[in-house]
Chain A
Amino acid sequence: AQSVTQPDIHITVSEGASLELRCNYSYGATPYLFWYVQSPGQGLQLLLKYFSGDTLVQGIKGFEAEFKRSQSSFNLRKPSVHWSDAAEYFCAPVATGANNLFFGTGTRLTVIP
Chain B
Amino acid sequence: ETGVTQSPTHLIKTRGQQVTLRCSSQSGHNTVSWYQQALGQGPQFIFQYYREEENGRGNFPPRFSGLQFPNYSSELNVNALELDDSALYLCASSLQGGHGYNGYTFGSGTRLTVV
State whether B42 touches A43 (Cβ < 8 A): no
CB interface residues, B 86-115, toward A, < 8 Å = 90, 92, 97-99, 101-104, 106-109
Complex: chain B residue closest to A100, CB-CB? B45
Is the contact region of chain A dominated by helix, strand, or loop, or is it mixed? Answer: loop
State whether A43 touches B108 (Cβ < 8 A): yes
**A67 lies within 8 A of chain B by Cβ:** no
**A42 lies within 8 A of chain B by Cβ:** yes
Given contacts A90-B42, A103-B42, contact A46 B97 (CB under 8 A): no
State whether A44 touches B99 (Cβ < 8 A): no
**A34 lies within 8 A of chain B by Cβ:** yes
State whether A104 touches B103 (Cβ < 8 A): no
Given contacts A32-B99, A41-B108, contact A101 B45 (CB under 8 A): yes
Interface 1/0 per residue, A34-57 and B, CB below 8 Å: 101000011111100101000000
Complex: chain B residue closest to A42, CB-CB? B108
Is the contact region of chain B dominated by helix, strand, or loop, or is it mixed? Answer: loop
**B16 lies within 8 A of chain A by Cβ:** no
State whether A34 touches B106 (Cβ < 8 A): no
**B81 lies within 8 A of chain A by Cβ:** no
State whether A100 touches B42 (Cβ < 8 A): no
Given contacts A90-B42, A100-B33, A103-B44, contact A44 B55 (CB under 8 A): no
**B41 lies within 8 A of chain A by Cβ:** yes
Complex: chain A residue closest to B46, CB-CB? A100
State whether A101 touches B97 (Cβ < 8 A): no
Residue in A44, A100, A103, A105 whose CB lies within 8 Å of B56:
A100
CB interface residues, A 70-113, toward B, < 8 Å = 90, 92, 94, 98-106
Closest-CB distance, A71 to chain B (whole angstroms): 21
Closest 6 A/B residue pairs (Cβ)? A103-B42, A43-B106, A46-B103, A100-B45, A99-B98, A94-B99
